[in-house]
Structure 1
């Protein structure tokens, strides 16, 4: 796995270098359409790199969160963040901490690329409509408008990559003792498609879309609005010019991620549980005696909420919140900062704050 990560990193660096060289040529005399296409490609690459870096950095916590979300209440294996990580290390070793990360990156790289690019396009379109409506050419995006642009970006990115997210959840949950093993993302996709049908690839899509509206929307709205406020008000003498330091931007991203994930977390739990429906060999639904104590069968999102609260209490909607909170702070912060830094390296003229 380490070698695969190194190869992926080298490939990403080479892509960035090539795009930077092409950008230099573009500034020296390439026509406008070619320059526009190059700018779009660079923006997508920046978003993809941001997603890959941020998710790999917190992969062990991401896996533990999912295991906590879907574990059987009759066979508790993971009782908390530290105990859960130690249990994974003891039973599966170092590789167990990163199980499913390759599939996760295969999903999050295009998801992040589409999300950041969609936000830029949506925010530009919404700003133009707002300026036309108010008659003020110098009008700026409000926090509510940024929330709307972020929600649009989240829905587009989630829908485009949802099947990969679905199988990533199953690969993350399985262990070496699972009766049936998915060998990888494509094997999982083909197996689910063959055994459960095309609709199975979109199990849990509705709570995902509903959850992504406040989650991604708040991420972008809080991050951009907080940055804008810091630049304009210059509180506590933190800002000396119009540029924020990397540390300050990391803090803005951490605040944005914490608020967004807290609001949307129950929907993420329901999404994961719905994704496990139909997977009879999932390790999470098999109790210690080998018998299925609580089969995962939901008729829909509302039923999943109702059954979860009735059988396990309201607190079950926040299972895995602690490792997720620890994960979200560096993950979202790294994603935003990496995106802006890579765009600076590539020489992209437009940044999300603009």
Structure 2
């Protein structure tokens, strides 16, 4: 049986299409994460109440990091969604709203499960301040956390709030993007779409329309899931300082402690402004890059109107 005709576990999904979708998702993730890396660094410092940034806001945080550590210190999931969409297609009708939400949620849960230890290490490295390093690099951080903090469980600390937050975040972001994309194609095709020659009669979103739809989808999803994102960060970084070890006890304990110490605005939603600055362009660039890659690889058939 050839590679092009072999199917994955009877689902009818061609291996070739799966590989192309994985490549699209990987490219989209790299491009989007690189674009917002400086925003991500400052967000982590604000979320976890770094003692160097307790009184800082977004711009003062940027200035402080740049002045103290240098500009380079600011630089210290989508293919799976397509697979889930094919698996769920038709269960609740012809790719219904529920299908789209579940496809996004399933993609988010799958990707975060596979990559979570790397996210923990990234957060630890980003939280370090020049001159106060605990870890010399990725390998050192991974081995130190594993040996000194309880093995693989330490690398997955904060995983529960991440899972709970990922369902509304990934589900809403994919659902909103697909909904907005469909709305633009159906009701505003002249303003938001262009013909797709490879698929006669089809339309695809223009790049500006993709950026707008992706940005709006990211903003909606982040607004709902942000407190759990803050909880995850506090748990991931808890063991870096003896004064914050109590944040490692569990999700509900950490949520209660954050709320008790700082309230909603300065606690559960601390760093939300920079998160919007980060999430909107990140999701916009990610979805746009992913859609463009799909078109290049002839995976997007467009919408016939």
Gaps of 5+ in 1: 1-28, 100-111, 131-138, 281-291
Shift of 1:153: 1.0
Aligned to 2:298: 347
How do 1:9-158 residues align onto structure 2 when only pairs under 5 Å count? 31-33=4-6, 36-72=14-50, 76-77=53-54, 79-99=56-76, 112=77, 116-130=78-92, 139-158=93-112
Q: 1:89-133: per-residue Cα shift (whole Å, max 9, x none)? A: 10011111111xxxxxxxxxxxx2xxx222112111212323xxx
Which one is further off, 340-349 or 217-226?
340-349
Shift of 1:331: 0.6
Whole-angstrom CA distance in 2 between matches of 1:171 and 1:312: 24
Whole-angstrom CA distance in 1 between matches of 2:294 and 2:288: 10
- Name the SS for the 1:118 alignment partner: helix
State whether structure 2 residue 249 is matched by structure 1 residue 297: no
Shift of 1:238: 4.6
Aligned to 1:327: 278
- Name the SS for the 1:243 alignment partner: strand
Of 160, 171, 174 in structure 1, the residue corresponding to residue 128 of structure 2 is 174
Q: 1:15-59: per-residue Cα shift (whole Å, max 9, x none)? A: xxxxxxxxxxxxxx9752399333322211111110111111111
Q: Does the C-alpha gap of structure 1 residues 233 and 56 become closer, same or farther in structure 2, counting only changes over 3 Å? A: same
Q: Does the C-alpha gap of structure 1 residues 271 and 159 become closer, same or farther in structure 2, counting only changes over 3 Å? A: same
Whole-angstrom CA distance in 2 between matches of 1:31 and 1:147: 29
Whole-angstrom CA distance in 1 between matches of 2:258 and 2:192: 46
The size of the alignment, in residue pairs, is: 288
Aligned to 1:338: 289
Gaps of 5+ in 2: 8-12, 196-202
Whole-angstrom CA distance in 1 between matches of 2:21 and 2:89: 19
Q: 1:299-324: per-residue Cα shift (whole Å, max 9, x none)? A: 21111111111111222111111111
- Greater relative contact order: 1 or 2 (C-alpha under 8 angstroms, separation 6 or more)? 1
Of 127, 139, 145 in structure 2, the residue corresponding to residue 186 of structure 1 is 139
Asked whether the equivalents of residues 169 and 221 of structure 2 are also in contact (C-alpha less than 8 Å), the reply is yes
Which one is further off, 198-207 or 117-126?
117-126
Please give the TM-score of this superposition, normalised by the length of structure 2.
Answer: 0.87
Please give the TM-score of this superposition, normalised by the length of structure 1.
Answer: 0.75
Q: 1:216-245: per-residue Cα shift (whole Å, max 9, x none)? A: 111100000111112122378555763221
Shift of 1:145: 2.4
Q: Does the C-alpha gap of structure 1 residues 31 and 117 become closer, same or farther in structure 2, counting only changes over 3 Å? A: closer
CA-based RMSD: 2.4
State whether structure 2 residue 260 is matched by structure 1 residue 310: yes
Asked whether the equivalents of residues 291 and 300 of structure 2 are also in contact (C-alpha less than 8 Å), the reply is no
Asked whether the equivalents of residues 108 and 167 of structure 2 are also in contact (C-alpha less than 8 Å), the reply is yes
Aligned to 2:164: 210
Shift of 1:189: 1.0
